[in-house]
Structure 1
């Protein structure tokens, strides 16, 4: 791995200082200044392209009719198929399929109530087919998974409320406030798109904290975004930390039953232009006062007991996440074609998190061929390093059980690091249909040395209704 991704804790502050000092320093960054010769910031090549069209509007004109009442929506269907070609924990060949329907909507309140710059926002997700190639074939089920071949697998076939909240902006749009049933993806860690089918390459790394949840899981809270300058936005909030939020009983619940404490996220997001091209850079810290269970130490301060109830608990833990997404090239005749580079890093409190750190690097190219200007070609590589505390705990359990043979069902595997990769090509078949064949490589799946490297082929499809 490049030295930029050094895992030595004492060198991390220097590394981050170099990354953000060079890339984000306003004295050297070419930020948009309102000059006529600098085009507006455009994140299309970074993966943030607006929907180009949808099926229902073309057939029925539904979207235009609802817009007259201030109602905007995005209704889509996503499917993900994965097939293990070679290797893995279980080498028997199998294809797994999952899919989901999602409805995300915004209802403007200005026309209905007279409240300016206000809206109700909502999200509903229906997931089907509880099939997960990672747990059935790729990784040792005795240690759980540290990645997914199908990132939209959520552990259940279920319909959930992802969020439902009130939003209003103030100060000419500089201040944005949300309150209600929230989800992190509405505000935080949104500099990298979720386009890869492999979870470790999908978006940023803040979800690896294990204290808040992605996309279709809601929890109470309130957030603030303040645009300090045209390029720099500060984000914060106060959210419920509830381990019960992903459960089936919480799918539509507005109760706080199961809450353990609060989440306090702090993030700085910089949208700028380096090399005359758009880029996004961010640095975030997530703090929680909720009780955490030490993965190794027991109540006495020594190694933990075999009974999980015997492990020590503590309060106040953190998670650091950072990254950038920078356009590198553009076509002279089309600003929406070109190459971009994205990097992300998550650093965890390994006393209670099974991960020490996770990092990913990805190249994306929009419009690789003149005849296919809206297609995408992308390659990403991710590394996950396991927590030393969790490894020590697993080793202690083996000593307690007197087990040394990995093939013994009672053996607790000792996770280390894994390196996974994915290559995809996305065909924009129509403005509302995308087909994305892909190849994945799994190096030491789950971080277990005894599990053979694996190859997976897959197909991701998206339909925008």
Structure 2
């Protein structure tokens, strides 16, 4: 089944390549210097962008295979992927609306996750393939308009989009979910919806100075948006409340080399009722906070496009309603370590996911303690080498190690091999 799925995906991709090549100038399509696999459509793509229409078509594929585990001899391999088709519209160029832009993005996810099918990864809190999840289906992921006021100091965005696009945002280059993207959405996922799920939302941002801005948002909490048949749901039927995040972001240039950094401090509160872990007959409201730090630490022989960058993510969640009490990850990324490969990168990351003690207390009361023991912490680590094959294709072979799968004290310890590749058509 795995190989038939790969064949289907490859055939679909090849069909797209052939169609695009017929529209592209022969010297542009598949050029390693082009930002797009299908080229500039004989100059038409750039011409459209200059008129305000920026089209994008991306593909992310992730392969994961179980290399070794402490207690399970059976290995497995799974593949998951995502297509994303979108258009960014500069409405000042198109309609004359000053400082106004819009985005429409449609996504489709396919495949299966090793974390869901492998016995060795049973109960995995993270995921060995971050691109899997939120039902494998078509979705309207972005449908928003944004306008700036007060000489571009005030920025207002309304429409349908996810929290992680603006709040608690982080890169998603690693394949393990605990090292990819907005971490709040990974551990409060029953209410905070990251990409590719969207909901009705509004976000207001104010630029205090060129390096610092503050923002607040209101996001509809509607469980129906997670359903497989509701990827295009625009109704507010089923809404249960709202998630309200607030954040301050500092983006400095540090030192005489102006090394880039990003520092985020945020808090969220949910108006929706959530069951109390120790007593499901009681309800309370989810809340928590986060810190995100990303800082370039060195420049490679004075070249700031290369060098070492470090990152830290911290999240903290309320103990009454959330199964995960806190998580931390830390890592390093070195871009351009080798002069012959100046755009390649080497990265390593380590994450700790800590379960709420109330979960164990509730299991004791209900006599549902797992045979693997109590839950405490799960540890996820990954190292990858990012091959910048062309300007439109990056391939990241990786090795992952998961200790105490499911945060069980007697849980599995596993090694996973993966390959993540990202293409811009």
Indicate whether the TM-score tops 0.5.
Answer: yes
Question: Which of 69, 73, 79 is residue 61 of structure 2 equivalent to?
Answer: 79
Partner of 2:346: 377
Change (3 A) 1:62 1:359: farther
Q: In the comparison of the two structures, how many residue pairs are matched?
A: 389
Partner of 1:259: 239
| Pairing 1:464–2:407 present | no
Asked whether the 8 Å contact 1:123–1:216 carries over to 2, the reply is no
TM-score, L = length of structure 2:
0.87
Question: Which of 149, 164, 168 is residue 128 of structure 2 equivalent to?
Answer: 149
Query: Residue by residue, what CA displacement relative to the aligned partner does 1:16-55 show, whole Å, maximum 9, x if unpaired?
Result: xxxxxxxxxxxxxxxxxxxxxxxxxxxxxxxxxxx97111
Structure 1: segments with no counterpart, 5+ residues:
1-50, 298-310, 408-412
Partner of 1:173: 152
Partner of 1:364: 333
Partner of 2:229: 249
Question: Which of 114, 137, 161 is residue 118 of structure 2 equivalent to?
Answer: 137
SS at 2:93 equivalent = helix
Partner of 2:173: 195
Asked whether the 8 Å contact 1:90–1:137 carries over to 2, the reply is no
Change (3 A) 1:88 1:269: farther
**Alignment RMSD, CA only?**
2.0
- Give the Cα–Cα distance (whole angstroms) in 2 for the partners of residues 110 and 169 of structure 1: 11
SS at 1:215 equivalent = coil
Query: Residue by residue, what CA displacement relative to the aligned partner does 1:75-123 show, whole Å, maximum 9, x if unpaired?
Result: 1111000000111675411110011111232112223332111122121
Change (3 A) 1:361 1:166: same
- Give the Cα–Cα distance (whole angstroms) in 1 for the partners of residues 382 and 119 of structure 2: 15
Alignment of 1:324-335 (within 5 A): 324-335=293-304
- Give the Cα–Cα distance (whole angstroms) in 1 for the partners of residues 134 and 411 of structure 2: 23
The range that moved more, 201-210 or 383-392, is: 201-210
Asked whether the 8 Å contact 1:200–1:382 carries over to 2, the reply is yes
Alignment of 1:43-192 (within 5 A): 53-58=35-40, 60-87=42-69, 90-129=72-111, 131-137=112-118, 141=122, 144-190=123-169, 192=170
Cα distance, 1:137 vs structure 2: 1.6
- Give the Cα–Cα distance (whole angstroms) in 1 for the partners of residues 201 and 97 of structure 2: 21
Asked whether the 8 Å contact 1:221–1:238 carries over to 2, the reply is yes
Change (3 A) 1:420 1:405: closer
Asked whether the 8 Å contact 1:169–1:175 carries over to 2, the reply is yes
Cα distance, 1:289 vs structure 2: 1.2
Asked whether the 8 Å contact 1:355–1:384 carries over to 2, the reply is yes
Partner of 1:230: 210
The range that moved more, 278-287 or 329-338, is: 329-338
SS at 1:152 equivalent = coil
Query: Residue by residue, what CA displacement relative to the aligned partner does 1:377-428 show, whole Å, maximum 9, x if unpaired?
Result: 00000000001111212222226xxxx7828xxxxx6321011100000101
Query: Residue by residue, what CA displacement relative to the aligned partner does 1:151-176 show, whole Å, maximum 9, x if unpaired?
Result: 01015321111120111111222111
- Give the Cα–Cα distance (whole angstroms) in 1 for the partners of residues 417 and 130 of structure 2: 14
Cα distance, 1:316 vs structure 2: 2.9
Cα distance, 1:274 vs structure 2: 3.2
Cα distance, 1:73 vs structure 2: 2.6
Structure 2: segments with no counterpart, 5+ residues:
1-32
Partner of 1:284: 266
- Give the Cα–Cα distance (whole angstroms) in 1 for the partners of residues 378 and 70 of structure 2: 13
The range that moved more, 361-370 or 91-100, is: 91-100
Alignment of 1:310-329 (within 5 A): 311-329=280-298
Partner of 1:406: 371
